[in-house]
Structure 1
Amino acid sequence: MIHQKGFFHQISAGLLACTFLVFGLSSCRKTKDDSDFVPKPKGFNRIDLPSTHYVQLLENHPYTFQYSSQAIIKPDTVAWAEPHWLYVYYPAYKAMIQLTYKSLDNNPTKLSRLIDDAYKLAAKHSQKASSIQNSILTTPQGEKVMLMRLEGEVPTYLQFYTTDSTKHYLRGALYFNTALKSDSLEPVIEYLKKDVIKMVNTLKWKQ
């Protein structure tokens, strides 16, 4: 006579062994679909970046510069816009460089306030930005340009300002009206950064 408890232990052990054997054979077997599976690479929208030709800003403003022939100059239409505020609009990329101009009137306090405002506007995006890189450029005219490059999912990826310290102040910011992520926009950002550098290097104030 077989002891009942020992009998059930033997059956349980046998079933457990069979279960491991079945699952082991199943895991070793590969179907045709399994062997042919290849992960799809992450894709981005194709963006063509043609060579750039520059033209002179001829409109009646206290400044002039060269800008890309792919861009369209538009007046800033926000309710608080002031004279000589512009958009350098790139329809192909749904991008724009917003330019805001201020007359200094030989007022150093006004200049100091505008510079503080420029840093505050950049700092507003610091929580979403993965990094903010500041660099100082010197134009052929000997004037300084503060260039701020922001990375991450931020509303503006490039900001800058320049001044002659006594009469003129110009600030710019690059925006995109698109749902594309910053990784996809990176080639365009660097492409338009070259346009910004061309703009400030050819910037001339009108007396």
Structure 2
Amino acid sequence: MKKVLSLTLVVLLGLSCANETLPKPSAYLRLEYPEAQYKTFDTGFPFAFEKNELAKEIKARTLSVDSGSYGIDLVYPDLKGTIYLTYKPINNNNERLITLLKDAQGFTQEHTLKADAISEQVFESKEKRVYGMFYEVGGNAASQSQFYLTDSINHFLTGSLYFYAKPNYDSILPAAHYLQKDIKHIIETVKWKE
């Protein structure tokens, strides 16, 4: 009887070990945002562009009447983020252009302390006279994206993306990618007014 019980126990143990139990993969929150709907947005300033209708609040402000500097905030309440745009005239002043370029590039480089990586994408549209750079900032930096655009003669536009949350790259990544597409669309559709 002991032999039969021992044999049964050995067979049961052998059968129970045939299928390995695998742990379930970690689940991730899936965030889905609506398809972007773009419409031309005339700022009333020396430039226009197409903006996503998801930007519910638009705050336009004059930064300096004397210098002709303007700012526009495109607020995305559902994504808890804002794209800040700042326009400054160059007025055919080459020294001013160089200063504005250095400032824009330096502002991006300040994020290297917290950024894991900063990738650059050159933008050039000779037909529209729009030239610039788009920066994607990886890691826990305060701003996930920045850009600047110019015609090299009269206009200079900078933009940056900020979220109303502590910069935790993994948490804001889906919203950052969505808004980076909006930024690229803004860059591609900017038109200077003469």
TM-score with structure 2 setting the length: 0.79
Q: Distance in 2 between matches of 1:63 and 1:96?
A: 19
Give the equivalent residue in structure 2 for 1:92.
78
Match for 1:186: what amino acid? L
> Residue 182 of structure 1: CA displacement?
1.0
Letter paired with 1:202: T
Percent identity at matched positions?
31
In structure 2, the partner of 1:161 is 148
- Inter-partner Cα distance in structure 1 for 2:129 and 2:157: 16
The CA distance in 2 between the partners of 1:132 and 1:180, in whole Å, is 15
Number of the residue aligned with 1:75 = 60
Superposition pairs for residues 118-137 of structure 1, below 5 Å? 118-137=104-123
Shift of 1:180: 6.2
Partner of 1:171 in structure 2? 158
Give the SS at the match of 2:54. coil
Contact 2:119–2:135 (8 Å) recurs in 1: yes
State the secondary structure of the residue aligned to 1:100. Answer: strand
In the aligned structure 1, how far is the partner of 2:151 from the partner of 2:37?
A: 27
Bigger strand share: 2
Say whether residues 1:61 and 2:45 are aligned partners. Answer: yes
Q: Give 5+ residue unaligned stretches, structure 2.
A: 1-20
The structure with more radius of gyration: 1
Q: What value does the CA root-mean-square deviation take over the aligned residues?
A: 2.3
Matching residue's letter, 1:75: A
Deviation of 1:185 (Å): 1.7
Q: Deviation above 4 Å: which 4+ runs of structure 1?
A: none
Cα distance change on mapping 1:42 and 1:76 into 2, 3 Å: farther
| CA-CA distance at 1:191 after TM superposition | 1.4
User: Corresponding residue for 2:93?
Assistant: 107
Q: Deviations over 1:104-150 (max 9, x none)?
A: 01000000000000111111110110001111022362522201111
Per the alignment, residue 8 of structure 2 pairs with none
Q: Distance in 2 between matches of 1:167 and 1:142?
A: 11
Tell me which residue corresponds to 1:192: 179
d(CA) in 1 for partners of 2:106, 2:178: 26
Q: How far did residue 184 of structure 1 move?
A: 2.2
2:185 counterpart SS class = helix
Partner of 1:25: none
Q: How many residues in Structure 1 have an aligned counterpart in Structure 2?
A: 169
Where 2:112 maps in the other structure, the secondary structure is: coil
Residues 185 and 49 (structure 1 numbering): CA distance in 2 closer, same or farther, change over 3 Å?
A: same
Cα pair 1:62 1:206 within 8 Å, conserved? yes
| Cα distance, 1:47 vs structure 2 | 2.6
Quote the offset at 1:88 in angstroms: 0.9
Instruction: Measure, in 2, the Cα distance between the counterparts of 1:42 and 1:131.
Output: 26
- TM superposition score normalised by structure 1: 0.74
Distance in 1 (CA, whole Å) between partners of 2:177 and 2:76 is 14
CA distance in 2, matches of 1:193, 1:127: 21
CA distance in 1, matches of 2:187, 2:60: 19
Change (3 A) 1:186 1:76: farther
